[in-house]
Amino acid sequence: AVVSTQSTGTQVKVIAQEQPVATIPTAQIWNTSLSTQPSEQSGKDVTHEIKGITKVMVKTMTAAQQVPRFTFHDEYTVDSIVGMKSLLKKVGDEQKVKLTFMAFIIKACSQALVEFPMINAHVNADCTAITYKAAHNIGIATDTPHGLMVPNIKNVQNLSIVGIARELERLKALAENNKLSTDDVTGGTFSLSNVGAVGGTYASPMLVVPEVCIGAFGRTQRKPAFNAEGEVYAANTMCVSWSGDHRVLDGATVARFSNVVSAYLQDPTRLLLSLK
């Protein structure tokens, strides 16, 4: 049970027991495959030592597996954003940046995190304290020739959608050239994965400890749906999967958070009007 709440200026720490909050190193660079494949010519098995980025992945995933998590699946209607595709291209050309749906998703999540600060949080090693993070440092799983990396965009709550798009381009370029800095891959508070980029729909994403929530967005699909008049039409939909740390989050909280994100994406004008 929570026995006290302490204000620390830019962050809030909810303390479950009278002991200091531990800092857990965050490893946010994952590898998806070993660099050398079995030889087709020899027809023999090949054994490799697990090292480098793959070794970091072993440590990260082992830590994540120790956390009891749940996964919540949802489906968003994104007709409005899809309808803005030509406008986004025009604005992107003017701003000299590629405006993707992902930039809107990231901003929608950040706005929803304002209403659900417990989702933008870290827990300590023995789960006796949870720290509500002031900054929305949103990690983005990025597929690269060097493996799966998760750099994060710092202070998304202060960025415009165009600013987020610029950061996405910067981090992607650095990741593809294996030049991400330590600052780029540490300090994340909440993460997202765009599984739709490789053709996926639903997923069961693993947490990035000590974060308490991660989302995976699938590809946009056209499906039959009913409009307000009961007529069938082709709706643009997007599958989303949320995984949460069940020690500190319950399914209802994540479902409500997902509903807010969905509302912002269904009506982008609401998202724009909510910006400071």
How far is residue 69's CA from residue 76's CA, in Å, rounded to a whole number? 22
Q: How far is CA 23 from CA 127, 141, 271, in A?
A: 12, 22, 34
How far is residue 153's CA from residue 159's CA, in Å, rounded to a whole number? 10
88: number of Cβ within 10 Å: 20
Pull the structure tokens for residue 54. Answer: 């793959």
Burial classification of residue 225, based on how many CB atoms lie within 10 Å of its CB (0-12 exposed, 13-18 middle, 19 or more buried): middle
Active-site amino acid positions: 246, 250
How far is residue 113's CA from residue 169's CA, in Å, rounded to a whole number? 23
